[in-house]
Amino acid sequence: MNDSPANILCKSCGLCCSGHLFAWTRLNASELDSASSLGLKVIRDNPTLRGFTQPCSQWSGTCAVYLSPNYPRSCKTYKCTTLRRLLDEDISLPDALIVIQETLSLIREIDLLLPALPAPSFRERLMTYKEELESKRNGLNVLESEFLSKAKVLLTYYEDRFGMDDFVDYEK
Ligand code: SF4
Ligand code: SF4
């Protein structure tokens, strides 16, 4: 059976599962046990961050738990701007794939400029390093300036192409 355009797009991307767009994904209190049983790394101790951490342990090019009856509600309902546009036939699949490939390519460039930081998700490492450089008082070297300008472009991509305009709230 052929994949739908939406499946083709999401399989080429995975950014909402891989810790690039989000550092964690929200769960309802009633989903915590079933999410644990799926192998997701559940956060239970903070009601304002109740969910599971990203990168998601069940992402490896496709979602391993997509067909489970315990598939999380947030994963079921989330659609980024590019996926919505594709479903609304406001963008063609080839153009939507280009949007994703451009974003992945920029992420790869930025990753090379990111120092090793303890945070597990790209999202947290991106924001932590960006804030660190922005608060530096004694000038930036060439690589630091390059990182900041690329991070700025990526955040506009996140906003325009994925519908993320609030970089404080890490909710999926
Ligand atoms: S970020 Fe959008 S295109 Fe990418 S996997 Fe998630 S919903 Fe699909
Ligand atoms: S459970 Fe599946 S859809 Fe949800 S974040 Fe993990 S890999 Fe993505």
pLDDT in tens, 80-106: 999 999 999 999 999 999 999 999 999
Query: Residues lining ligand 1, judged by CB closer than 6 Å?
Result: 9-10, 13-16, 21, 79-80, 82-83, 162
Q: Which atom of ligand 2 is the closest one to the Cα of 59?
A: 7
Q: Is 163 left (phi over 0), alpha (psi -120 to 50) or beta?
A: left
Domain ranges across the chain: 5-162
Sign of the four-CA dihedral 39, 45, 51, 54? negative
**At 155, phi and psi to the nearest 5?**
-65, -30
Provide the sign of the torsion angle of the four alpha carbons 156, 157, 162, 167, taken in this order: negative
Which ligand 2 atom is nearest residue 56's CA? Answer: 6
19 lines ligand 2 (CB under 6 A): no
CB atoms within 10 A of CB 117: 12
Residue 172 confidence class, pLDDT cut points 50, 70, 90: low
Whether pLDDT at 166 is above 60:
no
Report which bound ligand comes closest to the CA of 87: 1
Residue 118 has pLDDT above 90, yes or no: no
pTM of the model: 0.90
pLDDT in tens, 53-78: 999 999 998 899 999 999 999 999 99
Picking from 21, 23, 15, the residue whose alpha carbon sits closest to that of residue 124 is: 23
pLDDT of residue 130: 96
Mean pLDDT of 45-52: 84
